[in-house]
Amino acid sequence: MNEHLRQQLIDTARRMASCGLNRGTAGNLSTRAQENGEPGFLITPTGMAYETLMPDDIVFMNHDGTPSGRRQPSSEWRFHRDIYIARTEAQAILHAHSPFATSLACLRRQIPAFHYMIARFGGDTLRCADYATFGTQALSDAALLALEARRACLLANHGMLVFGNDLPQTLALGIELEELCEQYWRACQLGAPVLLDGDEMAVVIEKFATYGQQKGAR
């Protein structure tokens, strides 16, 4: 059992709550992992408060959807599994019912290029996936479609979904997405935000290819 990775998952899940992304038992978090040489992922269990979690409460799932451990996995395990299979760059996945992302998701709005930081997620919009019942294959299919060429999306009448290179980056992206949703919501209270055009967003997207501390940089 990879106890260190399990504890890192728990610590990150608790930070989701302290950062205001989740309350109670809402949302879920996972990270790509192997156990006994079998590829899969570790995921938070269903219906348990993060502050009560212990490493052996975390569920390992292989890619055929078979869980192992003493707990049942999050009901949303399907979109975690399908993202890991479809997007090899995804190393951790966060789903949250954060206030502003969820508010916009309930309006079924995609977020346009009102701010250049939208490009942080891979494109010039943040899409809103079509509605489907939680925990279903239909929801997973809708999420994958909305995530094409993106690291994040909204889920209609539901919340946010984001993936990253590891747990710390994925949490940071979740916080950043919620902040953008709040900024967009506030700007809309005063009118229609002025949007950046496609040419400018193309420049920004290119610059984000070398944004931050790159491996091997001197």
Please confirm, yes or no, whether 76 is among the known catalytic residues. yes
Beta bridge partner(s), residue 29: 94
Q: Which amino acid is located at 31 in the chain?
A: T
71, 59 contact by CB (below 8 A): yes
3, 38, 51, 76: which is the annotated catalytic residue? 76
Residue by residue, DSSP assigns the chain as: --HHHHHHHHHHHHHHHHTTS--TT--EEEEEEEETTEEEEEEPBTT--GGG--GGGSEEEETTS-EESSSPBPTTHHHHHHHHHH-TT--EEEEE--HHHHHHHHTTPPB-SSSGGGGGGTSS-B-EEPP--TTSHHHHHHHHHHTTT-SEEEETTTEEEEEESSHHHHHHHHHHHHHHHHHHHHHHHHSPPPPPPHHHHHHHHHHHTT-S--TT--
Residue among 36, 43, 75 at smallest CA distance from 58: 43
Cα–Cα distance for residue pair 133/15, rounded to 1 Å: 27
Give me the active site residues, please. Answer: 76
